[in-house]
Homo-oligomer: A and B are copies of this chain.
Amino acid sequence: MSGKRSLIRSGTTVDQMVRAIGDRIVTGVLRPGEKLDEASLATRFEVSRTPVREALGQLSAMGLVERRPNRGAIVAVVTQEHLASMFESMAELEGICARFCAERMTGGERRALEVEHQASARLVRLGAEEDYEYFNTEFHTRLYRGAHSTHIYELTVMTRSRLAPFRRAQFRLSGRLAKSWQEHDAIVTAILRGDGASAGIAAKNHVSIVSEASAVFAAVDPASPKAGLAELPS
């Protein structure tokens, strides 16, 4: 083999595979239930099966893929129940983050949060869904960081990853943009006030609402290969 790993560089081959496959799952290129063939992935990324196998193992440990012994791996497919549980956890986690933010954010962090938040109002007016979605991710990441708790950060980011496949397109719902901003505003205000309890509640509600918006898509999502039970409405 002629090693031409210079394209996706950084880290070991396994790390690259974890990122590559993980990204494709999180961004929805690979849909829940889709089969992950080791050989195909190996040729697709021009590596041998070994790093692919290791990557699948790690992704499995992270909960992004599901491994059936001797029967291959598939993108993790979650039940409605588990999905609800993840959203619920997400709400709690974000609540914790917001509460901690209110109590612990530095002056600089508060200022940056406020500034970015205010700036995002423009995206709402323009109806720039794409850009707002990007900002939204940044906003929440800022909250996770602002909690100043490495482990909470890890748990939260990890949970967000696992939810990612199910929350795409949430902003396509009309009016969601403006509502989202208002909810953010409540969180920011409470944080700046140093009111942890309120910030936590606001953040929790924010996620809960998102979860309801996303649930719609989740219900339609099952990309299970077979399970081709009658799906078209008559």
Contact = CB atoms under 8 A, between A and B. Distances in A.
Interface of A: 11-12, 14-15, 50, 53-54, 57-63, 69-70, 81-82, 85-86, 88-89, 92, 96, 149-152, 154-155, 159
Contact of A54 (B11, B54, B62, B155): B54
Given A54-B57, A60-B58, A12 B69 contact: yes
Contacts of A15: 69
B151 A89 contact: yes
Nearest to A62: B61
Contact of A152 (B58, B62, B89): B89
A151 B54 contact: no
Contact of A151 (B58, B152, B159): B159
Nearest to A155: B155
Q: How many copies does the complex hold?
A: 2
A61 B149 CA distance: 19
The binding surface of chain A is classed by DSSP as helix
Contacts of A86: 151
A60 to B, nearest CB: 7
Contacts of A96: 92
A59 B154 CA distance: 15
The 10 closest A-B CB pairs, nearest first, are A61-B61, A58-B61, A85-B151, A89-B151, A85-B149, A86-B151, A85-B150, A54-B57, A82-B150, A89-B152
Contacts of A89: 149, 151-152, 155
A149 B60 CA distance: 20
Residue from A62, A63, A149 having most chain B Cβ neighbours under 10 A: A149
A181 to B, nearest CB: 28
A60 B63 CA distance: 14
B85 A152 contact: yes
Contacts of A58: 57-58, 60-61
Given A53-B54, A60-B58, A151 B82 contact: yes
A54 B150 CA distance: 26
Given A15-B69, A54-B54, 14 more contacts: A12-B70, A50-B50, A57-B58, A59-B61, A61-B61, A82-B150, A85-B150, A85-B151, A86-B151, A89-B151, A89-B155, A92-B152, A155-B155, A155-B159
